[in-house]
Copies of this chain bind each other. A is one copy, B any other.
Amino acid sequence: MDYEIYDLGNVTLQGGATIRDCKLAYKTFGTLNAAKDNAIVYPTWYSGQHDANEWLVGPGMALDPAKYFIIIPNMLGNGLSSSPSNTPEPYNGPRFPNVTAYDNVKVQHRLVTEKFGISKLPLVTGWSMGALQTFHWGAMFPDMVERIAPFCGSAKCSRHNFVFLEGVKAALTADAAFKGGWYDTKPAIGLRAMARVYAGWGFSQDFYRAELDIKTLGFSSLEDFLVAFWEGFFLPKDANNLLTMLWTWQRGDISANEIYGGDFVKALGAIKAKAYVMPGATDLYFPPADSEFEVAHMPNAKFIPIPSIWGHFAGGPGTNPVDVKFLDDKLKELLAS
């Protein structure tokens, strides 16, 4: 096991359910300094676990363990933190409660403060749903978070993004083997269908036109890319876990809580952190226009699109070295400021 567990005890969620004996799985890199002011929080993305974040951490990189104490908390529902797949009865499987990004960041905040005694964070950053959690950190703890760098993500799930996810969900659950979440063997047809739906969204039209799946990623054909990359990606994952995280994503909204009462512009305005908001220029489900709106309502934010034809994958997970370099440079610039 290459990660730690923080025992949260009983966690009552925004929706009213309580996860008893709730677990937060996390991994750290580097050492927390004596002043406790060198920690970076770097949450995970949809279906990813901490190891799928490590491409942005390393010697000489912005997230250098020699300099920073980097904490990667696993999202609730991702199979390592409390999830449908690892929670005992009666809250197991499809009975696992709905979890919001707010709930996630609240337990992450407990880890950071209770376990490590940290009161200032020089940076929170993340890709995709990691960006959603990054925005939440900025809005929920404006006096604690000095910088945020959300990339290829948003502070609120857009209506279009919601619809895209409805398609993903419908494809997964159309498989009779899903059985309303009470499957014994995994709903493989649904997972494969979901993967094929996702394939059109994950990379851009330009990416496919340039045949980067073959020419850069080395797959032998488009169909090979769909099977080996996409189906291969989703098949090992638990369907209920995927649906839990999908629900979290669809309801993502930094203002959907008692602090901001649904006032999205107010919540954006409350983010004091110096922010680099970095959408992928060709991202089909987090289009730059949504980031521009966010930046326009944040007091200390810069809009920095990633000039890439890799669509959503401009931001991860380390798939394209050119984009990684761009992101890493921007993170260095932000951390130095």
Contact = CB atoms under 8 A, between A and B. Distances in A.
A167 B199 CA distance: 8
A166 B289 contact: no
Interface string A209-231: 10100000000001000100000
A205 B154 CA distance: 14
A321 interface: no
Interface in A138-187: 158-160, 162-164, 166-171, 173-177
A196 interface: yes
By DSSP majority rule, is chain A's interface helix, strand, loop, or mixed? helix
Contact of A163 (B170, B222, B285): B222
Most interface-central of A167, A203, A290 (chain B CB within 10 A)? A167
A111 B176 CA distance: 44
Contacts of A174: 171, 174-175, 189-190, 192-193
Nearest to A166: B196
Interface string A260-285: 00000000000000000000000011
Interface in A81-140: none
A158 B196 contact: no
A190 B190 CA distance: 11
Given A189-B174, A190-B174, A166 B208 contact: no
A200 interface: yes
Most interface-central of A197, A199, A203 (chain B CB within 10 A)? A197
B209 A289 contact: yes
Given A176-B176, A199-B163, A208 B158 contact: yes
Contacts of A159: 208-209, 211, 222
A73 interface: no
A206 interface: yes
Contacts of A201: 200
A192 to B, nearest CB: 7
A287 interface: yes
Nearest to A190: B174
A174 B189 CA distance: 6
Contacts of A207: 160
A222 B250 CA distance: 13
A160 B206 CA distance: 8
A171 B199 CA distance: 13
Contact of A208 (B160, B173, B190, B200): B160
A160 B226 contact: no
Nearest to A197: B167
A302 to B, nearest CB: 22
A167 B192 CA distance: 9
15 contacts: A158-B205, A159-B211, A160-B204, A160-B205, A163-B200, A166-B200, A167-B171, A167-B196, A167-B197, A167-B200, A174-B174, A174-B190, A176-B177, A200-B201, A209-B290
Given A167-B167, A167-B171, A169-B196, 5 more contacts: A160-B205, A171-B171, A176-B176, A205-B290, A206-B289
